[in-house]
Structure 1
Amino acid sequence: MQVLAMILAVLFFIVGLAGSVLPVIPGAILIWLGMLIYGILTQFETLGTVFFIGQAMAAALVYVTDYLAGAYGVKRYSGSKYAVYGCVIGTLLGIIILGPAGIIFGPFAGAVAGELLNQKPLNSALRIGVGTLVGLMGGVIIKLAIQIAMIVWFFWAVFSHG
């Protein structure tokens, strides 16, 4: 049962890590669920309450970071709420229309379009679009780091007990 539990956990981790760059996948939640499934299938032999509370806090930090990184990028480059809305819409449309390349081009184009709708000059809208990308990419790096730390903690907790 332990091997099956580990396989399932690792599958959840892989999909969860993909969620760091694909906004439609709730990455940190899937990583946490993989750990919970492992815990259930192994009758919580190696993972306790403190572990799961700490992991839930790390998962929450991923979502706070995601929000703050995007908002920071927009605000740092003097973007408005139009840039934020455009970024969200652009991300979704970008992924649908352009696939993986849409993860980069969608938010940029959406933020620029949002600022143009807000009647900002093109050069200003382009600068804000770049700022949005800077914030998003910074957020992705931080999210990946937190999620990798979550997974390392999991393996440490599992293998240091047995």
Structure 2
Amino acid sequence: MTQALWWTLSIALIVIGLAGIVLPALPGTVFVFAGILLGAWIDDFTRVGGFAVGAVAVLAALAWLMDYVAAVLGAKRAGASRLAIIGAALGTVAGLFMGLVGVLFMPLVGAAIGEFIARREHGQAVRVGIATWLGLLAGMLAKFVLAFMMIGIFVVALLW
């Protein structure tokens, strides 16, 4: 493969990774990290060395952790049942088939339905749904910030 094709693949992985931050079916920060690692490899790690790749790897791991922690913390803080958390996960999967709006709002619906099934209380179900949704949005925002930090480190190392 020519270097131009390798660089195109590297950039494509980073762009797909950014899309994956919003779409839960794609491991966004993993793709961003893979694109950065490929970019470093293309250049034989001369400009983007071990320190930069290590820093990006730490940020990728932190972003991956945020994926799981944020929604669960939001749900747990509102006193969510196990069914609410399962409902949020199922809502996320269902939302994939409904486009961006579905991805953003179906976890809220799934968590609320799961909580309602578990406790049969409307007010609690709505609170848990909203708390889970806010947790997901906070996690998504944190992943965006971390992904752009990863890209920033890569670009600075590449151009420095």
User: What is the TM-score when the length of structure 2 is the normalising length?
Assistant: 0.92
The equivalences for 1:46-125 within 5 A come to 46-96=47-97, 98-125=98-125
Number of residue-to-residue matches in the alignment: 159
> Quick check: 1:23 aligned with 2:24?
yes
The change in CA–CA distance for 1:56 and 1:143 in structure 2 (over 3 A counts) is: same
Letter paired with 2:43: T
Deviation at residue 149 of structure 1 after TM alignment: 0.3
Deviation at residue 11 of structure 1 after TM alignment: 1.6
Distance of 1:122 and 1:52 partners within structure 2: 48
Does the Cα contact within 8 Å between 2:72 and 2:135 map onto a contact in 1?
A: yes
Does the Cα contact within 8 Å between 2:7 and 2:42 map onto a contact in 1?
A: no
Distance of 2:9 and 2:104 partners within structure 1: 30
Distance of 2:45 and 2:63 partners within structure 1: 24
Letter paired with 2:151: I
Distance of 1:95 and 1:126 partners within structure 2: 22
Distance of 1:74 and 1:30 partners within structure 2: 27
Distance of 2:119 and 2:91 partners within structure 1: 18
Deviation at residue 8 of structure 1 after TM alignment: 2.6
Letter paired with 1:115: E
Distance of 1:84 and 1:135 partners within structure 2: 12
Percent identity between the aligned chains? 33
**Poorly superposed stretches of 4+, deviation over 6 Å:** none
Root-mean-square deviation over aligned CA pairs: 1.5
Letter paired with 1:95: L
Q: Deviations over 1:25-49 (max 9, x none)?
A: 1111111111121122222221222
Q: Deviations over 1:32-69 (max 9, x none)?
A: 11112112222222122222222111111001111111
SS at match of 2:22: coil
SS at match of 1:136: helix
SS at match of 2:102: helix
User: What is the TM-score when the length of structure 1 is the normalising length?
Assistant: 0.91
Does the Cα contact within 8 Å between 1:47 and 1:158 map onto a contact in 2?
A: yes
1:137 corresponds to which residue? 137
